[in-house]
């Protein structure tokens, strides 16, 4: 009898021990996992206010004071497909928030904190336009973006306690690029890291072709001093490549161009390319889309599909960063920039 009581006690103790362990194992990690939850498809979720406003220069040139969360909703809708994994959308929301808060001083829109031009700040899409584009899937996709913004509320990526320049692009080759390789300045958090996207990316591999005369005319329009000999085979040098596999330098008609300059000149989707000449035609074979620095959006989606949380994605693409609630001094700095208040700036310095 005593043995049975002892055995029962041991069994109960073991169950009590294992239950919390199971709960811990099934719990979401800090900063992560949306798991297999079902996003509502019949009712629009409310987007909470952030309590912080941005002066946004709209596409028509007008400036509107917009709640930060509402602005970010439009950025995520414009910058990343709403079909992407939830953790990828969260990573995009944090990157967009970080980018906005670290890029509010732009000489080409001095009366606004940010604009909606992707070439200057970040792309942005009005909610009504986004939902019209999504059609029958509008509620589910809108809710996914609402959750991405609200569940990362106030979080930004910091390096050494300051917001980073959270650059991002559509897709990379095998690796992202360093800021030094692309833009000529070093940022310790914008380093080359492996990126896992591939053939699932639309137009991952593209080609651009020019006849000999088209290429010659194009180059000489931009660089009149370019010198082309009689043999087109000698017009372009073999490219040199950087550590991430994109073109570092290529000489065209005696003019040395960076990979980025060549990408712009020849209207290529990225600087990750090779070039071949045959039968009077130059063919550029291109991989990926974008400048290649910072977070690859398709790479982020691949990581999320494999189980990575948004924090893990951000810390992979931005070397050495932490993902935290935005420090008070950053909000104070934003307010000071908006009001021109010297007192607020003094508080920032002294904190």
The residue among 270, 287, 304 that closes a domain is 287
334 contact partners, CB below 8 Å, separation of at least 6: 52, 101, 104, 113
Distance CA 204, CA 269 (A): 9
Could you tell me if residue 342 is inside a domain?
Answer: yes
Q: For residue 210, how many other CB atoms are within 10 A of its CB?
A: 20
For every residue of 271-340, DSSP letters joined together read: S-EEEEEETTEEEEEEESBB--BSEEHHHHHHHHHTT--HHHHHHHHSTT-EEEEPPHHHHHHHHHHHHT
Pair 180, 120 in one domain? yes
Cβ-contact 289, 270 below 8 angstroms: yes
Distance CA 251, CA 240 (A): 10
Could you tell me if residue 276 is inside a domain?
Answer: yes
Sign of CA dihedral 21, 27, 32, 36: positive
Could you tell me if residue 9 is inside a domain?
Answer: no
Query: Going by DSSP bridges, is the β-strand pair 168-169/295-296 parallel, antiparallel, or unpaired?
Result: parallel
Could you tell me if residue 317 is inside a domain?
Answer: yes
Pair 265, 309 in one domain? no
Distance CA 153, CA 168 (A): 20
Q: What is the DSSP letter of 50?
A: -
Pair 166, 218 in one domain? no
How far, CA to CA in Å, does 120 sit from each of 115, 123, 124, 240, 271? 7, 9, 12, 29, 20
Residue 307 domain boundaries: 53-184+292-350
Distance CA 237, CA 217 (A): 18
Cβ-contact 56, 43 below 8 angstroms: no
Pair 163, 99 in one domain? yes
The residue among 259, 287, 315 that closes a domain is 287
Could you tell me if residue 5 is inside a domain?
Answer: no
Residues in the chain, total: 351
Distance CA 40, CA 139 (A): 8
- Cα atoms in the 13 Å half-sphere on the side-chain side of 285: 4
Two tokens, residue 336: 């000071």
Pair 340, 263 in one domain? no
Pair 298, 155 in one domain? yes
Two tokens, residue 242: 């950087």
The β-bridge partners of 296 are: 169
Could you tell me if residue 18 is inside a domain?
Answer: no
Could you tell me if residue 233 is inside a domain?
Answer: yes
Pair 302, 277 in one domain? no
Q: Supply the pTM of this predicted model.
A: 0.85
For every residue of 197-235, DSSP letters joined together read: --TTSTTSEEEEEEEHHHHHHHHHHH-TT----S-GGGT
**What confidence tens digit (pLDDT) does each residue in 245-259 have?**
899 999 999 999 999
Q: Which residues of 4-30 are buried (b: 16+ CB within 10 A; e: fewer)?
A: eeeeeeeeeeeeeeeeeeeeeeeeeee
Q: For residue 132, how many other CB atoms are within 10 A of its CB?
A: 10
Pair 67, 211 in one domain? no
Pair 223, 81 in one domain? no
The residue among 235, 269, 287 that closes a domain is 287
Sheet containing strand 53-57, edge to edge, reads 63-67, 53-57, 114-115
Domain count, the chain: 2
Cβ-contact 112, 124 below 8 angstroms: no
**What confidence tens digit (pLDDT) does each residue in 182-230 have?**
999 999 999 999 999 999 999 999 999 999 999 999 999 999 999 999 9
Pair 70, 162 in one domain? yes
How far, CA to CA in Å, does 224 sit from each of 209, 255, 265? 21, 10, 14
Pair 86, 221 in one domain? no
Could you tell me if residue 47 is inside a domain?
Answer: no
pLDDT tens for the chain, residues 1 to 351: 433 433 444 343 433 333 333 333 333 335 556 666 889 898 999 999 999 999 999 999 999 999 999 999 999 999 999 999 999 999 999 999 999 999 776 777 888 999 999 999 999 999 999 999 999 999 999 999 999 999 999 999 999 999 999 999 999 999 999 999 999 999 999 999 999 999 999 999 999 999 999 999 999 999 999 999 999 999 999 999 997 789 999 999 999 999 999 999 999 999 999 999 999 999 999 999 999 999 999 999 999 999 999 999 999 999 999 999 999 999 988 888 777 655 433 333 223
Pair 247, 329 in one domain? no
């Amino acid at each position: 009898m005593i043995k049975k009581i002892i055995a029962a006690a041991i069994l109960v103790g073991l169950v009590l021990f294992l239950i919390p362990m199971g709960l811990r194992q099934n719990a979401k990690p800090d900063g992560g996992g949306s798991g297999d939850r079902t996003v509502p498809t019949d009712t629009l979720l409310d987007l909470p206010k952030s309590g912080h406003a941005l002066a946004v220069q709209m596409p028509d040139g007008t400036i509107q004071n917009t709640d930060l969360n509402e602005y970010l909703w439009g950025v995520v809708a414009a910058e990343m497909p709403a079909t992407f994994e939830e953790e990828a959308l969260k990573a995009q929301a944090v990157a967009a928030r970080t980018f906005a808060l670290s890029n509010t001083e732009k000489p080409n829109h001095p009366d606004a904190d940010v604009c909606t031009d992707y070439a200057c700040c970040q792309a942005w899409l009005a909610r009504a336009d986004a939902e019209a584009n999504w059609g029958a899937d509008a509620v589910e996709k809108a809710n996914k973006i609402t959750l991405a913004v609200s569940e990362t509320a106030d979080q930004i990526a910091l390096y050494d306690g300051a917001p980073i320049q959270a650059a991002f692009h559509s897709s990379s080759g095998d690796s992202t690029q360093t800021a030094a390789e692309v833009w000529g300045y070093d940022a310790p958090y914008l380093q080359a890291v492996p990126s896992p996207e591939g053939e699932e990316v639309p137009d991952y591999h593209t080609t651009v072709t020019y006849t000999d005369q088209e290429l010659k005319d194009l180059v000489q329009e931009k660089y009149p001093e370019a010198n082309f000999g009689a043999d087109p085979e000698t017009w372009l040098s073999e490219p040199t490549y950087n550590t991430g596999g994109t073109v570092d330098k290529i000489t065209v008609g005696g003019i040395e161009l960076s990979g980025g300059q060549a990408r712009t000149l020849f209207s290529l989707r990225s600087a990750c390319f090779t070039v071949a000449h045959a039968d009077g035609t130059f063919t550029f074979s291109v991989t990926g889309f974008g400048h290649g620095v910072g977070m690859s959006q398709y790479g982020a989606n691949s990581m999320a599909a494999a189980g990575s949380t948004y924090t893990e994605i951000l810390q992979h693409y931005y070397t050495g960063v932490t993902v935290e609630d935005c420090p008070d001094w950053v909000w104070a700095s934003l307010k000071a920039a908006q009001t021109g208040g010297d007192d607020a700036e003094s508080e920032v310095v002294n904190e």
